[in-house]
Amino acid sequence: MNRRLFCFWTDSNPMPPERLKALEGMKRSGLSVEFITQRNLNDWIIKESPLHPAYPFLSAIHRADYLRVYFMHHYGGGYADIKYINSSWIPSWDNLFDSDKWAVGYREIGPRGVAMVPSISYLRLLWNWKYLIGNGAYIFKPGTDFTNEWLNLSNHFLNNKLVELTSNPAKVPEDYKGRLDGDRRSLYPIRWSELLGNIFHPLCLKYSEMINYDLPRPNFYINYDI
């Protein structure tokens, strides 16, 4: 399997200089960096599995949330937010693909990193946070039960939001439900973590026996928007 690392920039807004430097540095992972933008996205879409029709109405953040699910299911390999990677991912890649596990990531930072799932299961996630991996970087084998369920749940969520999204599409790259815009709140219908963490973290706990936790953590402590 090709040692690829996917990353996404899903809108026409310019990438800040610090993030451009981080993109260049992602090759330190040792993987082949595949930078997916609006220009080349269609080259990767599988004819028999098109993007959800809600995709054009999503914020740039939520488009990236959706694309990582799509790519991890159909292609597998690495994904990372565009942030500095300072260590090789090759040992983690080899450990994963030499095993029967499905994914490798870095352990969540602690209870404060757990997605706020609106149900009693949130307490269960908090109690078991050490079995969760973070959303900012990972490697997946393609076509596993994990990725299949992840994509199906994401599509089901977007099915339920489609009518609202067509009436209230994202207006800025980081739009989310209730975002304050002057003296008004955004009518965009998706909360910040609804399309990623709220789906992903429960699956991490469900399939924790199929996950490794030795992926080097990217640098999340820099302001990448300057």
Q: Per-residue pLDDT tens for 20-72?
A: 999 999 999 999 999 999 999 999 999 999 999 999 999 999 999 999 999 99
pTM: 0.95
Q: Classify residue 161 by burial, with Cβ atoms within 10 Å: 0-12, 13-18, 19+.
A: buried
Residues 121-169: tens digit of each pLDDT: 889 999 999 999 999 999 999 999 999 999 999 999 999 999 999 999 9
Q: Per the domain annotation, does 222 fall within a domain?
A: no
Q: Which residue has the tokens 């450990």?
A: 95
Position 18 scores a pLDDT of 94
Q: Per the domain annotation, does 224 fall within a domain?
A: no
Q: Per the domain annotation, does 217 fall within a domain?
A: no
HEC string of 41-77?
HHHCCECCECCCCCHHHCCHHHHHHHHHHHHHHHCCE
Give me the torsion for CA of 14, 60, 221, 29, rounded to 10°: -80
Q: Per the domain annotation, does 70 fall within a domain?
A: yes
- Tell me: pLDDT of 226 over 80: no
- Tell me: pLDDT of 183 over 90: no
What domain count does the chain have? Answer: 1
Q: Per the domain annotation, does 223 fall within a domain?
A: no
Q: Per the domain annotation, does 225 fall within a domain?
A: no
Which domain does 204 fall in, by range? 4-212
Position 7 scores a pLDDT of 98
